[in-house]
Structure 1
Amino acid sequence: MAPKRKSLQQLEKKREKRSKIESKELLSLEQVKALGEEIKNASKFNNFVQLLEQLKIIQGILIEKESIEVETLGRLILLVVFERFEALFDEGMMRGSKKQDEKQRLVTNWLADKYETFKSIILKLLSSKLYSETSLQLDSMEIYLSMIKLESQSSEKQFPKKTYQQFLEAVLHNRIGEDSSDGSSNNFIVLEFSEIFKNYWDLQFYFFDVVNDVLCSWKDKLSDKKLQRIFANFVTIIRNGLKFKPEDLEDEPTWVPKDKLPSTLYKHNKFKSQFQKCILTILSYPLSSPQYKSILLILHKRIIPYMSQPQGLMDFLTDAYNLQDDLIIPILSLNSLYELIKNYNLEYPDFYAKLYSLLRPELFYTRYRSRFFRLCDLFLSSTHLSASLVASFIKKLARLALTSSASGVVIIIPFIYNLLKRHPTCMIMLHNTDESQLGDPFENLETNPLNTKAIESSLWELETLMGHYHPNIATLARIFGEPFRKPNYNMEDFLDWSYQSLMETEKSRRYKNQAALEFESFDSVLAENGKEGNILLDGWSL
């Protein structure tokens, strides 16, 4: 009974808190404007206290219920307070100086304290899960980013890194919304910031400059679920790509005025180093299967080119490539692995053995089937590969074609044809007349493609495909019964076929002659008066 009593106490406290919030009187729009005018014209800085207290009350109300009037009031207070602080920055009252007397320094320190309170209220509003999604949070984000501009203008050649870091912590840790099925975030604040982030070089540079330490500290103290949410927000921000052109980096647009930014901003080597640290840290988080897929989809094009030493991804990619539970993750890791093998001298002795293990029946039912065969065609293009290795891939694909979908067989046939043309030593599999063999020597369950004895086998499966139920496939398979005079097939013509496209092809096919049919009409479906007769459907005798 103790847990129930505790929950009732918590509910009672929540009701008391709600009643206290609602009992506090909210200002009207006219009162807010009047307080703002008093700050501007009469220097009544104590009005900041009342306006900031109102923001706290508004936040509490919006957590409990939806209210357009309260939201409108909160938006006005945010704007009024920001405009008053902006004016104080322009007047130089937010920065202390040696010329100030003790009284002026006290005022400056007091205003700085209220300014920090204002920032903390905005950050709390950004990270709070309100009763319903509200544009007030987007307005808060815009005002906070404007404050970054404001602070940069009051300093000399310095980006307000601390203010930006606090903002990034609030955005990355934001728990509004749920993660989407593709492993990214559908958080509207994160999505809005990502649109701003992709257009300004200084926001990108300092993002990776300040966030790595935060990611490391979170990794040690947060739960797996929270870390996965942070990862989803992080990927959503960077997935649109980065602007990084060393030759004209100084021409890139910046959020903060260029004359207020230090020269370190244009040192692309420093950026690459910081970028790499962040990526390796975030990839060490416990990822869900959709999150693995989301990062692998962009890794080879939008992450590897910006890293100082992409070889640091070797462990992550080889672990992803070796995953057995999900076929899609190893397929998606192929692009990045190939990039490291080709350009960064990655050595992976078991690469082809693992590639061979991906040839499973479920491969032909994944959405990334075309991607796999494009890469597989590239990996098997070298003429220096051993005949036994290539023969294993040919034989395995031929065996899979027997049970694959029609759209999958359409890919397999030209793929095998190209491999045989490219590796003539495997042509013996088409003409193997060794009668001493009893049965097929091919070992279908062998995981090492060098030990399958495929080169000793024959491609009897291809002859079986010549009698396939789909006429297009049967016609395509007959190419193996003819001299190999045809040039290589263009695989792009076959990779995107589906059941729907095959059906559309048949529907639009024109026949030279009309099909001969015999049709006899009947007055009834069954024989009358209980007499025996044929069962008829639509005039056809069964």
Structure 2
Amino acid sequence: MMKGKNVNELRAIVKSFKKEKVKNSNVIIDIMEMLHDDKEETLSGAITSLHAIFIFLFQEGDLVQPKIMPEDLLSPSDKYKKWLIERFKETHTQLIILLTHEEKSIQELSIVCLLKLLAAEGKHPISDKSGKKYAFPDQQLKAILKNLISETQDNCSLLTLMLEAMTFADFNYWTLKHLENILKQQKEINAIFMNNFFALLELVDIPEENAPESQQLFLLSDEDAENEEEHYSFTYPTTEAKKHLNSIWQRVIKWNLTPDLYRRSLVLIPDKVLHHMKQPLLFTDFFMESYDLGGPISLLALQGVFILVNKYNLDYPDFYKKLYRLYEPTVFHAKYRARFFMLCDKFLSSSHLPGYLVAAFAKRMSWLALQAPAPCIVMLLHFIVNLLIRYPNLRVLIHNPDVPELENDPFDPMEPDPAKCGASNSSLWEVASLKHHVLPEVAKAAGFIHKNLPIIEHNLGDKVEETYEEMYERACKMKVKTTATTFHKPEGLFKYQDDVMSDMWSLT
């Protein structure tokens, strides 16, 4: 028994095991018993020690399945290897159980060790020891995933530790495949399960079919494998991966999603899912209903609806009319403001848009600029400049001689239909008024109203997420001319030359 062993003592035990592994094999059982201890320090030491032992055994080639034959015909060496494999499987099972331990540090240490053992087994397969043939231990991964994607314990923070592993092509594919299997077998779909499931689903990224073959393999993430000369190849099965992804989303889209998962889905589907779907129009109801809800949900649904309309020929004639309605002062305070304006920049880049429609958006932004927070005004002015560059016919709005007095501006900001708002008959007088803004940066950005337009469009990404703090820091660095406030140097607080205050008052 090894109760009460500290870290240094365990390190010495592991070191002695590596020197004489057959003679000291029983230490494995003794350390495994420590995995049932209640003390966090004991558990941590046991996990770390067993990890070191089994990594060593993989590298030494001892964890190799012997040929199947009666027990009495096995050689002592094969019996030893069989015994080691059994101990490894027991340890693996116990580490998975520890993923539910009450101490977060034990959970995190367990998942890290499990992933490292997974990589070691992939490099040194238990069932095949050819030395150059790569066999991913997908069943071990499935056991880990089934425990992590729990319906009773929120493991989202724990699942973030798999972020690095998910960047490897092989790990990503096998995770996707097992996500489909787990989802098919899952009977109870509750909020906890959905949160855990999404934490991994968001990390799945299927490479394009014409993308170069990636050599970033999970087994080569092992430090000991960096200098290996063996070449391990893995061709990402894109077609199979798409089938798994289609199967998953056909089920997920029917879930009663929580508000948070609903918003995350609206971001995830256009970015990583739609172009892999066999029938993208299956998401039509999902995106159109979301777009009609208004507020932040509509902002997030924008990209999905646009992709379905533009790329998959969805008939949605009121898309731009509803987009126009989203241009309200509240949009500047939305969490997804940056995403909204970057998408709008893309939507308003088509050469097939009618002039009245683009004029309505330009005028609407000009009107909003008078109500927008200071960090957003420059972005709006740059957006207007971009529209004027793209659509030369709009330049009449800069100085429209037919516009009556401002009190009778034909533009109606309350009209929700861009075809009826009267923007084409108006002008950008709001921009002219911003030339006198108290902030020099805003006044400078509005200067295009009386100058020639630039040739190159502004990059909205530079301003779309700007904050008051950034504007203030930039203003503090500006060099200004010094303005004298007096011609004579004062002699004291109230002692100025020819100053009545100095004659009438004195400090005592």
TM-score, length-scaled by structure 2: 0.71
1:70-110 CA distances to partner (integer Å, 9 max, x unpaired)? 421343345557767998975644x634xx36897xx9999
Q: Which residue of 2 aligns with 1:26?
A: 3
Aligned residue in 2 for 1:491:
458
Aligned to 2:387: 419
Q: Does 1:273 align with 2:243?
A: yes
1:344-393 per-position Cα deviation (integer Å, ceiling 9, x unaligned): 44443332123212212233345754543343233223343233322321
Q: CA deviation at 1:124?
A: 0.8
For residue 455 of structure 1, the aligned residue among 418, 424, 447 is: 424
1:135 lines up with 2:109 in the alignment: yes
- Residue 96 in structure 1 maps to residue 68 in structure 2: yes
Structure 1 CA distance, aligned partners of 2:257 and 2:444? 46
Shift of 1:221: 0.6
How far apart, in 2, do the equivalents of 1:374 and 1:490 lie? 14
2:44 counterpart residue number: 71
The residue aligned with 1:408 is 376
Alignment match, 2:192? 225
Rounded to whole Å, the distance in 2 between the matches of 1:360 and 1:129 is: 48
- Residue 163 of structure 2 aligns to a residue whose secondary structure is helix
Task: Specify whether residues 230 and 208 from structure 1 end up closer, same or farther in structure 2 by C-alpha distance, changes over 3 A only.
Answer: closer
Q: Which residue of 2 aligns with 1:3?
A: none
Contact 1:429 1:457 (C-alpha < 8 Å) held by counterparts: no
| Cα 1:473/1:121, change in 2 over 3 Å | closer
Contact kept? 1:272, 1:307, Cα under 8 Å: yes
CA–CA distance in structure 2, aligned partners of residues 519 and 175 of structure 1: 78
User: Corresponding residue for 1:19?
Assistant: none
Pairwise CA distance, 1:417: 4.0
Residue identity opposite 2:242 in structure 1:
K
Report the Cα distance in structure 2 between the residues aligned to 1:519 and 1:288, rounded to whole angstroms: 70
> What is the deviation of 1:432?
6.0
Amino acid at match of 2:400: H
Are the counterparts in 2 of residues 399 and 461 from structure 1 also a CA contact under 8 Å? Answer: yes
The 5-angstrom pairing of residues 204-283 of structure 1 reads 204-218=172-186, 220-235=187-202, 237-238=203-204, 246=210, 248-249=212-213, 253=217, 255=219, 266-279=236-249, 281-282=251-252
Structure 1 unpaired stretches of 5+: 1-23, 179-184, 526-532
Unaligned 5+ segments in structure 2 are 495-500
The Cα of 1:433 is off from its aligned counterpart by 3.9
The residue aligned with 2:400 is 431
Residue-pair matches, total:
477
Matched-pair contact (CA < 8 Å) for 1:126–1:140: no
Give the whole-Å Cα distance in 2 for the aligned partners of 1:505 and 1:77: 55
Q: Secondary structure at the match of 2:164?
A: helix
Give the conservation status (yes or no) of the 8 Å contact 2:411–2:423: yes
1:135 counterpart letter in structure 2: L
Partner-residue secondary structure (3-state), 2:459: helix
TM-score by length of structure 1 reads: 0.68
Measured after TM superposition, the shift of residue 307 of structure 1 is 5.1
The aligned residue for residue 21 of structure 1 is none
- Cα drift, residue 204 of structure 1: 2.1
Structure 2 CA distance, aligned partners of 1:118 and 1:159? 19
Shift of 1:132: 3.7
SS in 2 for 1:403: coil
Cα displacement (A) at 1:198: 1.5
Displacement of 1:302 after TM fit? 4.8
Give 2:438's aligned residue: 469
Which residue type is aligned with residue 44 of structure 2? Answer: E
Distance 2:104 2:194 in 1: 24
**Any idea what the Cα deviations from partners look like across 1:233-281, whole Å, max 9, x if unmatched?**
443x44xx55566565385536399x99999x65421222223333554
Which deviations, in whole Å up to 9, do the C-alpha atoms of 1:316-335 show, x marking residues without a partner? 44455444342xx5445545
1:363 maps to: 331
C-alpha change, 1:360 and 1:195, in structure 2 (3 Å) is same
Tell me if 1:119 matches 2:92: yes
* 1:216/1:318 CA distance change after superposition, 3 Å: farther
In structure 1, what is the equivalent of residue 139 of structure 2? 162
Q: Which amino acid aligns with 2:217?
A: P
Q: Secondary structure at the match of 1:153?
A: coil
Q: Which amino acid aligns with 1:407?
A: P
CA contact (8 A) 1:394 1:416 kept: yes
Say if 1:276 and 1:308, in contact at 8 Å, map to a contact too.
yes
Matches of 2:475 and 2:57, distance apart in 1 = 72
Q: Deviations over 1:266-304 (max 9, x none)?
A: 542122222333355456555555555656656555555
Contact 1:411–1:495 (CA<8 Å) still a contact in 2? yes
Q: Distance in 2 between matches of 1:34 and 1:414?
A: 66
CA contact (8 A) 2:400 2:426 kept: no
Q: Which residue of 1 aligns with 2:162?
A: 193
Q: 1:374 to 1:488 in 2, by over 3 A?
A: farther
Sort the Cα spacing of 1:324 and 1:154 in 2 relative to 1 into closer, same or farther, 3 A: farther
> Does the residue aligned with 1:249 lie in a helix, a strand or coil?
coil
- Counterpart of 1:469 in 2: which secondary structure? coil
RMSD: 5.1
Q: CA, structure 1 residues 35+127, in 2 after alignment: closer, same or farther (shift >3 Å)?
A: farther
Mapped partners of 1:523, 1:82: distance in 2? 79
